[in-house]
Amino acid sequence: MADLWNAGWHCSTCYRTVADVLRKMASFSHVPLNQEVFRDPNRIADRVRRGKDIWDRDGEFYDFVPNNTDMPPFLLAHPERFGYLLNRTGESAGFEDYPP
């Protein structure tokens, strides 16, 4: 597998709220990913907080990089607006509507 440096971003779960994640799941054409077990807000927040794939797919994991600056400068310049993209480690996992 090759690495692509600075190739771009794609994230299916980089949303401000759990409600937004659930809305995305409901729009999936991937029926196996829109199962009740995956729609539990507590599970979603826990998986995001711990860097685990919310669908338990093999090989999918996410590392937290403390003080990471390898991201778009606009995000770094506006942490009050994009905090949910910068840090997912707290109790809320960065979601504005969690805990409920």
Decide if 64 is inside a domain: yes
3-state secondary structure of 15: coil
In a domain, 9, yes or no: no
**What global pTM score does this model have?**
0.83
* pLDDT tens per residue, range 7-34: 676 777 789 999 999 999 888 877 788 8
Q: What is the pLDDT of residues 35-88, one digit of tens each?
A: 999 999 999 999 999 989 999 998 888 888 888 888 889 999 999 999 998 888
**98 falls within a domain:** no
**88 vs 2: CA distance, rounded Å:** 27
Sign of the dihedral through C-alpha 20, 96, 15, 25: negative
Residue 85 Cα to chain centre, angstroms: 8
* Distance from C-alpha of 79 to C-alpha of 5, rounded to nearest angstrom: 24
Residue with tokens 């840090």: 87
Count of domains forming the chain: 1
Residue corresponding to tokens 């599970």: 43
Flag whether 52 is in a domain: yes
